Amino acid sequence: MTVALAEHADGVLVASIDRAAKGNALDTPTIDALGELAARLHENPSQTRVLIITGSGHRAFSAGADISTLRGLTADQARRQMTHGQDVFDRIEELPLVTVAALNGVALGGGLELAMACDLRTASRAARLGQPEITLANIPGWGGTQRLPRLIGRGRALQMILTGDPIDAEAALACGLVNAVGDDALAEALALASRITRHAPGAVAAAKDAVRTGELSGIQCGLRREAELVGQRCSSPEQREAVEAFLNRKKSSVRKADPS
């Protein structure tokens, strides 16, 4: 088994890449396991509200693609391998639930590309993030040239891609590549998940849907989808209950503040 699963409270599922001796490198069986997990969650997302992906051990989230699998590839073989990884990462990105990458160590090459396919990222203080493919006379092939500029801007992304230089966790936080930094990346991810799962599942899914629509189809499509989703939420029992609870709390606070 290359991906180990552990269930936590409130519908949080932790998937750990279980190849610590290899720096949690992403070989074909590991990519396949991640793809199978994403497929299962697409089919039955209701029991899982947040998926956290992390690496086993304390050294690496993932050191990237298993370089031994790249030796001697023909152009067509390499293209198929990259397309397969892209498809799996797309499936992770398209999940209706929230995904968080907990970067417990280095996240390089394909490892960073996997992390960027997640909605949110937390990092340990020891984490290092980078796209070093240029040092092997190549470029990122599992989405790095597309997702990195969207997350941190074209100039910063090109600097990382063209130099191959990694950045530390604090620099990643400063440029928006990660959302939180702490001593324990998984603990930070679980804390973030607990703040998300306290909110209505339908609202969380709708928010992700609206943001993704705008990213893929432009702001006008995103705005129309946003309005459509707000309409759907306003007719849902959980939204109506939340509005009533808010108004009742407001009335109660006004009564308490009235000295008469």
Whether residue 255 is predicted with pLDDT greater than 60 in this model: the reply is no
Whether residue 84 is predicted with pLDDT greater than 80 in this model: the reply is yes
Per the CB < 8 A criterion, the answer to whether 110 and 147 are in contact is no
Per the CB < 8 A criterion, the answer to whether 59 and 105 are in contact is yes
Distance CA 9, CA 232 (A): 28
Per the CB < 8 A criterion, the answer to whether 131 and 65 are in contact is no
Active-site entry in 113, 188, 228, 244: 113
Distance CA 97, CA 58 (A): 26
From 3.20.20.60, 3.40.50.300, 3.90.226.10, 2.40.30.10, which CATH number describes the 3-197 domain? Answer: 3.90.226.10
Q: What is the pLDDT of residue 26?
A: 95
Distance CA 86, CA 59 (A): 25
Structure tokens at 1: 């088994």
pLDDT digits (tens, 9 = 90+) for 157-203: 999 999 999 999 999 999 999 999 999 999 999 999 999 999 999 99
Q: Exposed (0-12), middle (13-18) or buried (19+): which is 253, by Cβ within 10 Å?
A: exposed
Q: What is the pLDDT of residue 65?
A: 87
Q: What percent of the chain has pLDDT over 90?
A: 84
Q: Indicate the pTM of the whole model.
A: 0.92
Residue 133 known to be catalytic: yes
Structure tokens at 19: 């190849």
Q: How confident is the model at residue 8 (pLDDT cuts 50, 70, 90)?
A: very high
Residue 94 known to be catalytic: no
Q: What percent of the chain has pLDDT over 70?
A: 95
DSSP 176-229: TS-SEEES-HHHHHHHHHHHHHTS-HHHHHHHHHHHHHHHHH-HHHHHHHHHHH
The average confidence (pLDDT) of the chain is 94
Whether residue 208 is predicted with pLDDT greater than 80 in this model: the reply is yes
Per the CB < 8 A criterion, the answer to whether 27 and 3 are in contact is no
CA angle 41, 92, 86 (to 5 degrees): 135
pLDDT digits (tens, 9 = 90+) for 31-52: 999 999 999 999 986 789 999 9
Q: What is the mean pLDDT of residues 137-144?
A: 96
pLDDT digits (tens, 9 = 90+) for 18-34: 999 999 999 999 999 99
Per the CB < 8 A criterion, the answer to whether 177 and 164 are in contact is no
Q: How confident is the model at residue 258 (pLDDT cuts 50, 70, 90)?
A: low
Sequence-distant (≥ 6) Cβ neighbours of residue 121 within 8 angstroms = 100, 101, 102, 103, 115, 172, 177, 178, 179
Active-site entry in 93, 94, 133, 228: 133
Q: 103 — phi, psi (to 5°)?
A: -90, 95
3-state class percentages of the chain: helix first, strand second, coil last, to nearest 5: 60, 15, 25
Distance CA 101, CA 189 (A): 8
Cα-based distances in Å from 1 to 16, 17, 118, 212? 10, 9, 22, 32
Q: What is the mean pLDDT of residues 224-241?
A: 93
Q: What is the pLDDT of residue 259?
A: 59
